[in-house]
Amino acid sequence: MADHNRRWYRNPTSLLLAASAVILFALTLRTAAAIIYPEQALGVVIFGLLGQLLPILLCGIVVFLLYQWHSRRAPEGQADRQTRELTSFSRSHAHLVFSYKLSTRFADVAGIDEAKEELAEVVDFLKHPDKYTSLGARMPKGLLLVGPPGTGKTLLARAVAGEADVPFLSISGSEFVEVYVGVGAARVRDLFEQARRYAPCIVFIDEIDAVGRQRTAGLGGGSDERDQTLNQILVGMDGFDSETNVIVLAATNRPDVLDQALLRPGRFDRQIVLDRPDLKGRLAILQVHVRGKPMHAGVNLDVLASLTPGLSGADLESLVNEAALLAARRDSRTIGQQDLEEAIDRVLMGPRCHSRLISQRERTVTASHEAGHAIVAHVVSNVDRVQRITIVPRGTAGGYTRVLPGEDRRLFTRSEFEETLAWTMGGYAAEQITFGEVSTGASDDLVSTAT
């Protein structure tokens, strides 16, 4: 049996230490009683002090016995592991991936060509630092990746580390924040120490807005844990010199809430914006995700890219995976166009509700509602053409009408907004005309109009 599982009272060394502690405690108690109460009887004073200290001693004995009982019941090595966990409480929980384990490259990232061009300079700096230092150039210490969720910020950071062939340290901003003051700052110091140890390397802090928000104006007496953690990040980034070759990448979808000290030159002084992909970008992303999958010869990715405006790279990856699951469900050996188009509906609206019982009147109301949307979309000139109408319930919707944009657009006129509102309220008007009253099915239309 291991040493930590032996009974403590069978160990002579433990018995000697326990006896020494008892004797030392008795001598200390007698000396304290003689000093504090010199005029009273020594026995009375000692009994009084013992009455006050006895509950504390009993609590200590109970805690000690419970610890020994837990150590005896713990499997081999678990007690040591728990001790290490307690001592590593202030260490960072960064996930370290060495270069030989990084398989992500720029070829695996599509739809964000401008961002890749910006980060290609970082890769070249990590590979050939002398090329820049000989000219007196300094690579930015921090680069902030800004974009909506699912646009590939984490994937791009891993691709940079893979292309540069350097270690990759990744951690979430929320892992720095703890209830205990000082723990977050200690974890930041440990993270930067690891970065210096493995330099050249890339440190990636995901969701940095969790710890990098604007500091409070004196609230809490300046002892707020998050503020101290942010201060340590600022100090740590200032500690990287030009010869350290450590690049800090951070990602956020809320750059407006970040502290201005993070964004000044010398820290995160370069922002790289990752937006949702356009038609060309969606096509490139789909080509990456269908790579290595058995696709049917009739699959047209151009049509699929045109059917998915507004979807991010993560949405498109989920779409291809859903299509593969649908193909496997019907025992097909290839993924067809029908599977991909059905996957679009599953990603946008949810799965079909086959078991939902719908009365004939509800079907009639839903059909009239969706027909109203389709008629208005066909009549007005500034609304995209109707691509699909269905009264098959999906998710919380009883049916839907989907329009297909002819192109990706960023600018809209007043007349286009007005006709879009008319199309949105087409189902509401159809119910009013057909049945003389409106059902709760038009509630989503009202919410869309208000927003």
Q: How confident is the model at residue 48 (pLDDT cuts 50, 70, 90)?
A: low
Alpha helices (runs of H) in 38-171, residue ranges in sequence order: 42-73, 78-87, 113-127, 129-133, 153-164
pLDDT, one tens digit per residue, over 140-155 is: 788 899 999 888 888 8
How confident is the model at residue 286, as a pLDDT? 92
Kindly calculate the radius of gyration of the chain based on its CA atoms and give it in whole angstroms. 33
Under 8 Å between Cβ of 376 and 426: yes
Looking at every residue in the chain, the average pLDDT score rounds to: 79
Q: How confident is the model at residue 295 (pLDDT cuts 50, 70, 90)?
A: very high
Label residues 87-99 b or e (16+ Cβ within 10 Å = b).
eeeeebebeebeb
Distance, in Å, from the CA atom of 344 to the CA atom of 316, rounded to the nearest integer, reads 9
Crossing angle (nearest 10°) for helices 113-127 and 153-164 = 30
Domains of the chain from N-terminus onward: 3-87 (no CATH), 95-273 (3.40.50.300), 279-349 (1.10.8.60), 360-450 (1.20.58.760)
How confident is the model at residue 238, as a pLDDT? 78
Q: Interior CA angle at 41 toward 35 and 45, to 5°?
A: 60
pLDDT, one tens digit per residue, over 164-174 is: 888 888 888 88
Residue 259 has pLDDT above 80, yes or no: yes
Catalytic choice (370, 407, 419, 431)? 370
Q: How confident is the model at residue 106 (pLDDT cuts 50, 70, 90)?
A: confident
Distance, in Å, from the CA atom of 311 to the CA atom of 213, rounded to the nearest integer, reads 28
How confident is the model at residue 447, as a pLDDT? 79
For the chain, what percent of residues have pLDDT higher than 90?
10
How confident is the model at residue 67, as a pLDDT? 63
Q: Which residue has the higher pLDDT, 150 or 98?
A: 150
**Of all helices (H) and strands (E), which one includes residue 446?**
helix 443-450
pLDDT, one tens digit per residue, over 350-404 is: 888 777 778 888 889 889 999 999 999 888 888 888 888 888 888 777 888 888 7
How confident is the model at residue 1, as a pLDDT? 44
Q: By mean pLDDT, which of 9-18, 32-41, 79-88 is the weakest? A: 79-88
Under 8 Å between Cβ of 178 and 184: yes
Q: Which residue has the higher pLDDT, 366 or 98?
A: 366
How confident is the model at residue 86, as a pLDDT? 47
Q: By mean pLDDT, which of 115-124, 130-139, 179-188, 326-335 is the weakest? A: 179-188
pLDDT, one tens digit per residue, over 56-93 is: 666 667 666 666 665 665 555 544 555 554 455 566 67
Active site residue 370: yes
Return the biggest CA–CA distance within the chain: 107
Distance, in Å, from the CA atom of 201 to the CA atom of 346, rounded to the nearest integer, reads 40
Taking CA atoms, 85 is separated from 81, 93, 193, 435, in Å, by: 6, 11, 19, 67
How confident is the model at residue 32, as a pLDDT? 60
Provide the strand spans (E) within 199-296: 201-206, 246-252, 268-273
Query: How are strands ordered across the β-sheet holding 142-146?
Result: 95-97, 168-172, 201-206, 246-252, 142-146, 268-273
